[in-house]
A and B are shown apart, each in its own frame.
Chain A
Amino acid sequence: MIGYAAALRLASGIVLLAAVAMLWRRDLRAAVPVLAVQGVALGVVAGTLALHQHDVGLGVTAFLVLIVKGFVVPLLVWRVVRRDPKIRETAPLVNVTASLVAAAVLIVLSFVVSAKITALSPSVATRLVPLGVATILVGYFLLVSRRRAVSQIVGLLLIDNGIALVTFLVTSGVPLIVELGSALDVLLVVVVLQVLVVNLRSRLGTFDLDQLKELHD
């Protein structure tokens, strides 16, 4: 299959690059197109694997991933971002420069950690596992170091996309029903967070989760 390896590498690389771009940009509006690109790249990974293995089920999954993660989820996030009066990540707990350096360290770490996974069955796909693990770690980092509710949603979505990437690369796709379950799960989480954010705003007038320090009736 011509270009199978190249397409897989490029798409997985774009997933990780998008994760780093989320750390780089302060502007929360920029997160939406980056998420969409990441979702589409994830769909391309699954689609390439499906074409390579002539797997119809995986092809359907790829299509679903493309629709849900490439279009539906970014659209939902956009609906949250649109209502936020402050569009910048104003005071992250770790500044952008330091978090980019931390991302570099996390990428190296993921290589060290996933060397054993790759060694179990070295192939074009499993060699790319470090990229998925790095995406997960960058997602966790975003989740713990940013304060705005939108950034937290984005961090969660990064973790989910990273897990999906590793799943595709290692197992060539889990059964459709499992994939469907996890996709709906994420969709539900985004909707719940959206409701939370809207409530947060109407009560406190801010999206900063650090404001939630005391209990009210």
Chain B
Amino acid sequence: MGAADTSITAMGVVASLLQVAAIVIGGPLLLGLMAKVRARVEGRVGAPIHQPLLDLRKQMRKERIHAEHSSAVLIVVPFVFVSTAAVAGAIAPLVTTRPALATSADILVIVYLLLAGSVALALAGLDAGTAFGGMGSSRAMTIGALAEPALLLAVVAMSIQSGTSNVPAIVADTLNHPGWSASPQRLLSLGALIIVVVAETGRIPVDNPSTHLELTMIHEAMTLEYAGPELGLVSLGESMRLGLLLALTVNLFIPWGVAEQTGGLAIPLGLAVLIAKVAMLGVLISLFEVRSAKLRLFQVPELLAGAFVLAMLAIVAGLVTT
């Protein structure tokens, strides 16, 4: 197992920095790509793929304005939101299975880093004391609480197979056992994981990122009080999380191309393959989004309970075969 060695190598640090850079730049580009695919399928031309980056630049240049009666929470949260995503991106096996601190990249660490970001954003939604913010926070936390058991069970199913909960080690093991990717427990936990990722990133069956309709919005409601650079940071954090979760999902199930060494051409190659894989998954998701409608809020628990049962079945399949 590649992750067994605890030393922090210079190349590992370089790889980690590259991963963070990849999700900081790649996340917004992924959003742009998904919007572009959607527009093309709907018969529109659509904004250029780098539009989210242009939006970010515009927002960063604006002056900072804070809501009246808001506390320091509103100012701190965007930084917490972005930095948790960046740390998770640095230790997760995205480009290589041997980033710096790979031994700490337990699945629980990554899940709870992202969860810390979600909780911070929910606090920011409550901070200004507006009705919509509190409503959005309450909805986001409800969905988060329902998605988490499914996520953890899906991951446990994969840990049973490789005997460790260290994510780089799971990815490395999957590279060494190509048959694992097609095994029933992997496919079931892939189904559960995709539902959870869609719920966590607020994409279409659960939340619609492109509208601000008061009755249904979840994610947008929490960020209503933000403007200027802080809004830019929050939306950067959102796109980083989307990029990170999609990259992690794709690497857990189709790991080929991830660099097992940190030398030579392996890392540039790993980066290129990662971009291709995530772009393909992004295109697939946005094609699905065009064809489907947002679920009623009260039906979201049904979807997530389904993910929970899928993850449960994945564990059962794991127990049956071992």
Contact B309 A20 (CB under 8 A): yes
Q: Is the CB of A97 within 8 A of B316?
A: no
Could you name 22 residue pairs across A and B whose Cβ atoms are closer than 8 Å? A9-B184, A10-B184, A17-B313, A20-B309, A20-B310, A20-B313, A24-B306, A24-B309, A100-B306, A101-B305, A101-B308, A103-B309, A104-B309, A104-B312, A107-B309, A107-B313, A111-B316, A111-B319, A127-B320, A127-B321, A131-B320, A134-B316
- Nearest CB in chain A: distance from B317 CB, A: 6
Interface centre among A9, A96, A100, A127 (most CB of B within 10 A): A100
- Residues of chain A contacted by B302 (CB below 8 angstroms): 24, 96-97, 100
Q: How far is the CA of A200 from the CA of B302 in the complex (A)?
A: 31
Taking CB atoms and an 8 Å cut-off, the chain A residues in 114-133 that contact chain B are 127-128, 130-131
**Interface membership of A33, Cβ < 8 A:** no
Q: Which residues of B270-312 have CB atoms within 8 Å of chain A's CB atoms?
A: 301-302, 305-306, 308-310, 312
Q: What does DSSP make chain A's interface, helix, strand, loop or mixed?
A: helix
Chain B interface residue count, Cβ-Cβ cutoff 8 angstroms: 17
Give A204 to B305 CA distance when docked, in angstroms: 35
Instruction: Assess the B316–A130 pair: CB atoms within 8 A.
Output: yes
Q: Give a binary string over A89-120; 1 marks a CB under 8 Å from any B CB, 0 the rest.
A: 00000001100110110011001000000000
Contact A130 B320 (CB under 8 A): yes
Residues in B neighbouring A17, C-beta threshold 8 A? 188, 313
Smallest beta-carbon distance A100→chain B, Å: 4
Q: A9-B320, A107-B316, A130-B320 are in contact. Are A100 and B309 (CB under 8 A)?
A: yes
| In the bound complex, CA of A31 to CA of B104 (Å) | 45
A-B contact count (CB 8 A): 53
Chain B residues near A9 (CB-CB < 8 A): 184, 317, 320-321
A100 near B305 (CB under 8 angstroms)? Answer: yes
1/0 contact string of A1-37 vs chain B (CB within 8 Å): 0000010011001001100100010000000000000
How far, in angstroms, from A6 to B317 measured CA to CA in the complex? 11
Q: What is the distance, in angstroms, from B301's C-beta to the closest C-beta of chain A?
A: 5
The 4 closest A-B pairs by CB, nearest first: A100-B305, A97-B305, A104-B312, A13-B184
Q: Which residues of B contact A13 (CB under 8 A)?
A: 184, 188, 313, 317, 320
- Quote the shortest CB–CB distance from B194 to chain A (angstroms): 15
A9 to B318, CA, bound (A): 10
Centre residue among A9, A24, A97, A111 by max chain B CB count within 10 A: A97
- Give A168 Cβ to nearest chain B Cβ, in Å: 15
Taking CB atoms, residues of chain B closer than 8 Å to A6 are: 183
Min C-beta distance of A30 to chain B, whole Å: 13
Q: Shortest beta-carbon distance, B80 to chain A, in Å?
A: 32
Chain A residues near B320: list those with CB within 8 A. 9, 13, 127-128, 130-131
- Which residues in B have their C-beta under 8 angstroms from that of A131? 316, 320
**Alpha-carbon separation in the docked complex, A6 to B182 (Å):** 10
- Which residues of chain A from 128 to 146 have any CB-CB distance to chain B below 8 Å in the complex? 128, 130-131, 134
Point out the residues of chain B lying under 8 angstroms from A97, CB to CB.
301-302, 305
Note all chain B residues with C-beta closer than 8 A to A16: 313, 316
- Are A100 and B317 in contact, with the CB atoms below 8 A? no
New A-B contacts (20) at CB < 8 Å, excluding given A6-B183, A10-B184, A107-B316: A9-B184, A9-B320, A9-B321, A13-B184, A17-B313, A20-B309, A20-B313, A24-B306, A24-B309, A97-B305, A100-B302, A100-B305, A100-B309, A101-B309, A104-B308, A107-B312, A107-B313, A127-B321, A131-B316, A134-B316
Interchain CA distance A108-B312 in the complex, whole Å: 9
Q: Which one of A13, A107, A108 has the highest number of Cβ atoms from chain B below 10 Å of its Cβ?
A: A13
Binary flags per residue of A177-191, CB closer than 8 Å to B gives 1, else 0 = 000000000000000
Chain A residues with Cβ under 8 A from B188's Cβ?
A: 13, 17
Query: How far apart are A127's CB and chain B's nearest CB, in angstroms?
Result: 6
Smallest CB separation, A126 vs chain B (Å): 11
- Residues in B with CB closer than 8 Å to A100 are 302, 305-306, 308-309
A110 and B133 alpha carbons, distance in the complex (Å): 45
Contact partners of A24 in chain B: CB under 8 A:
302, 306, 309
**A141, chain B: closest CB distance, angstroms:** 12
